[in-house]
A = this chain, B = another copy of it.
Amino acid sequence: MPKIVNHEERREQLAKAVWRIIRREGLEGVSVRRVAEEAGMSLGSLRHYFDSQSALLAFSMRLVSERIKKRVQSLPLDGDLRENIETLIGQIVPLDEERLAESQIWIAFSTFALTEPGLRPLSQEIHDSLREMFRKIIDSLAQSKLLKPGLDTELEAKRFHALVDGLLVHGVIAPEAMRAEEIAGIIARHLDSLLVQQRGA
């Protein structure tokens, strides 16, 4: 009977090698040979787990998004609504090294997907689900009467979404000018501007 190896584990191992190369050299540096070397295995081995470079890239891209998604879904969310929102968004923006890495990788993949038909659907899917998340955030604030009255919820959702993605981008391309505390501070300020004044605050 066959030698049993955790298939999925090996694939993740390769995907993580892809991530490291992207961070170090950009997506241009991701050749199959380099990935195999980075993962400490042979080119033949890599091809056993991925039929093509495209498949490897698609898997690596999906893995980042699923990692973030899982982290978001396993959040306790036991604070009040505003606190939960800040916690939620804190999982997306580069507040620490791990999230900075994910952001770097994500930006590389998103840009690449713009001209790569095979990756575009995934990119769009994730962008859409994020947009949906911001819509839910604003809606839940409105339902809880925490949102300032008279606001266009659809517009505010998109504004918030754009702001957060802008912070993510700035955190990656100019980390010294957009530190973690500043990112958190700007998000907090934006929420302040959206919410009615809390009496007990």
Distance in Å from the Cβ of A167 to the closest Cβ of chain B?
5
A166 neighbours in B (Cβ, 8 Å) = 161-167, 169
Whether B116 lies near A26 (C-beta < 8 A) is yes
Bound: A160/B73 CA distance, A: 30
Interface residues of A in 170-201 (CB under 8 A from B): 170, 172-174, 177-178, 182, 185-186, 189-190, 193
**Which segment of A6-14, A42-50, A60-68, A105-113 sits at the interface?**
A105-113
Distance (Å) between the CB of A80 and the closest chain B CB? 23
A interface residue count range (under 10 / 10 to 19 / 20 to 34 / 35 or more) = 35 or more
Given contacts A29-B115, A104-B114, A115-B26, contact A169 B165 (CB under 8 A): yes
A41 close to chain B: CB less than 8 A: no
Cβ–Cβ contact B173 & A110, under 8 A: yes
Say yes or no for A77: interface residue by CB 8 A criterion.
Answer: no
Number of copies: 2
Chain B residue with Cβ nearest A182: B158
User: Which B residues are CB-close (under 8 A) to A111?
Assistant: 26, 107-108, 111
User: How far, in angstroms, from A26 to B117 measured CA to CA in the complex?
Assistant: 12
Q: In the bound complex, how far is the Cα of B169 from the Cα of A114, in angstroms?
A: 11
Cβ contacts A to B, 23 pairs, < 8 Å: A24-B115, A26-B112, A26-B114, A27-B28, A107-B111, A114-B172, A123-B173, A124-B174, A127-B173, A127-B177, A128-B174, A131-B177, A155-B182, A158-B182, A159-B186, A159-B190, A162-B163, A162-B167, A162-B169, A163-B166, A165-B170, A166-B166, A166-B167
